[in-house]
Amino acid sequence: MSSINIVGLGYIGLPTALMFAKSGLKVVGTDYKKEIVDSLSQGKLFFEEEGLKELFEAAQANGIEFSTEYFKTDTYILAVPTPYIEESKKLDPVYVISAVKSVLDVCEKGAAIIIESTISPGTIDRHIRPVIEERGFVIGKDVHLLHAPERIIPGNMVYELEHNSRTIGADNLEVAAMIKELYASFCKSDIVLTDIRSAEMSKVVENTFRDVNIAFANELAKICRNDGMDVYEIIRIANKHPRVNILQPGPGVGGHCISVDPWFLVGDYPDLTNLILSARKINDSMPEHVLGRIRDIMREHNIKDITKVGLYGLAYKENVDDTRESPTLQLLERMDEHLAFGVKVFDPFVKEQMVDDQVMDFKKFINEVEIVVLMVGHDHIKENMDLLKDKLVLDMKNISELEGVYKL
Ligand code: SAJ
């Protein structure tokens, strides 16, 4: 293998490109967004992750390049977005298709096209193979197709890139073994070889499992709230059982993975997905539950003005700046529907104005509100919990030990 062209320099593509470059491979990272390419070429990262800066420096030292153009080589890794279509709940393969077409314009004969983006089971058969064949390429001869779904978790990406097990799906085990060697240049864990369909399905199943588990915790939280029981205590005790592992309830499920991937199964198998659909509905109902809890506290303390309420956290989870599908954004949407405007919002990781009434300074935020709703458990708030002593605190993440704090 001469070099790798990694297409899509987002949350997955960029760390992966840097990791390959750090391992000594020649890497060109491609993204159609010129501002991303320019920023990286000037040595500037556009998101934060533990260890990413050091990884970037090592990759730069090994000569990683960034470009808006595709690069002629024999190995392509595609890490482009795979959104879902709101109405049909099916995957929209438009970006993957367009990336595959661009690869075909430049690739060497016999090149491997490895799709890392999460795709719904059957996407490669239904959408990718036909595109390649229409262009007159013979799959397995002119190009090889593989699916190597990413599994790294935002917040711990660099560590997980090296330590998570990986799956590689391919038509041809010899080609799969070659690509396994490639990933083994940095991946220290098991690399499992399988067929493409199983690789597609196992990835979506992993995220769906987590969504269903969180939905169970959220349903328990509602049951416990109804009868004055402490859901955290109950989960803590139940999890002492050697075969029980319940996740934590919270204000909702956000991010571009857990809250999206189960919909692929619901979209493709509407008659067979009762549990998965219910889990999605339960998790999507949590922001409304939070709104109910805010109302309870306002009533109890005779607070009528919603602008006295502050939502801490706009990211979808702790210590990241990614706000995609975040529970806070979902809650703000519900508030708009209930004509409850003017709630204040603060997130130390979100440096640009994203929503109305977002306060950019933490002290100002605290001074302006009477009720603080902890939507995200950033380390920042754990370190500043003392400053909330005189506030009414509604803690959706079970992180505050302040006296009198309200819970989920
Ligand atoms: N959440 C809870 N309770 C929990 C854990 C999470 O409410 O006990 C919420 C979070 O606050 C967040 C959402 O779920 O809003 C999703 O966060 P997450 O940390 O569970 O997962 P993601 O979306 O950041 O990353 C997931 C991971 N998948 C699994 O753990 C099975 C990651 O390994 C995948 O690579 C990633 O999806 C992906 O890209 O598919």
- Per-residue pLDDT at 89 exceeds 90: no
Say what the pLDDT of residue 84 is. 85
Say what the pLDDT of residue 1 is. 60
Say what the pLDDT of residue 25 is. 96
As a whole number, mean pLDDT of residues 92-107 equals 97
Pick the CATH number of 4-194 from 3.40.50.720, 3.30.70.980, 2.60.120.590, 3.10.20.740: 3.40.50.720
- Shortest-distance atom of ligand 1 to CA 254: 15
As a whole number, mean pLDDT of residues 267-289 equals 97
Q: Is the CB of 334 under 6 A from ligand 1?
A: no
Could you read off the pLDDT of 338-397 as tens digits, one per residue? 888 899 999 999 999 999 999 999 999 999 999 999 999 999 999 999 999 999 999 999
Q: How would residue 88 be classed by pLDDT, with cut points 50, 70 and 90?
A: confident
Neighbour order of strands in the sheet with 4-7: 65-67, 27-30, 4-7, 75-78, 111-115, 143-147, 166-170, 191-194
Q: Is the CB of 207 under 6 A from ligand 1?
A: yes
Q: Is the CB of 49 under 6 A from ligand 1?
A: no
pTM, two decimals, is: 0.95
Structure tokens at 87: 């109405």
- For residue 207, the CA-to-ligand 1 centroid distance in Å is 8
Ranges for all domains in the chain classified under CATH 3.40.50.720: 4-194, 206-407
- For residue 113, the CA-to-ligand 1 centroid distance in Å is 27
- For residue 221, the CA-to-ligand 1 centroid distance in Å is 19
Q: Which run of H or E residues covers position 178?
A: helix 173-183
- The closest residue, in CA terms, to atom 9 on ligand 1 is 253
Backbone torsion region of residue 263, taken as left when φ is above 0, otherwise alpha when ψ lies between -120 and 50, otherwise beta: alpha
- Shortest-distance atom of ligand 1 to CA 256: 23
Say what the pLDDT of residue 339 is. 82
- For residue 258, the CA-to-ligand 1 centroid distance in Å is 6
| Catalytic positions | 203, 257
Q: Is the CB of 218 under 6 A from ligand 1?
A: no
As a whole number, mean pLDDT of residues 205-231 equals 97
- Shortest-distance atom of ligand 1 to CA 211: 14
Say what the pLDDT of residue 86 is. 85
Distance CA 297, CA 206 (A): 37
Say what the pLDDT of residue 340 is. 85
- Per-residue pLDDT at 317 exceeds 70: yes
Q: Is the CB of 397 under 6 A from ligand 1?
A: no
- Between helix 196-226 and helix 286-300 the angle, nearest 10°, is 20
For a pLDDT cut of 90, what percent of the chain falls above it? 94
Non-local (6+) Cβ contacts of 135 within 8 A are: 101, 104
- Per-residue pLDDT at 115 exceeds 90: yes
Say what the pLDDT of residue 230 is. 97
- Shortest-distance atom of ligand 1 to CA 258: 23
User: Which of the two residues, 46 and 68, has the higher pLDDT score?
Assistant: 68
- Shortest-distance atom of ligand 1 to CA 150: 35
- Cβ atoms of 309 and 343 within 8 Å: the answer is yes
- Between helix 196-226 and helix 261-268 the angle, nearest 10°, is 110
Could you read off the pLDDT of 2-59 as tens digits, one per residue? 799 999 999 999 999 999 999 999 999 999 999 999 999 999 999 888 999 999 999 9
Average pLDDT, the chain: 96
Say what the pLDDT of residue 369 is. 98
Could you read off the pLDDT of 135-194 as tens digits, one per residue? 999 999 999 999 999 999 999 999 999 999 999 999 999 999 999 999 999 999 999 999
- For residue 260, the CA-to-ligand 1 centroid distance in Å is 11
- For residue 32, the CA-to-ligand 1 centroid distance in Å is 27
Pocket mutation for ligand 1, best pick of 153, 189, 286 (most atoms within 8 Å of C-beta): 153
Architecture of the domain delimited by 206-407: 3-Layer(aba) Sandwich (3.40)
Q: Is the CB of 203 under 6 A from ligand 1?
A: no
As a whole number, mean pLDDT of residues 270-288 equals 97
Q: Is the CB of 153 under 6 A from ligand 1?
A: yes
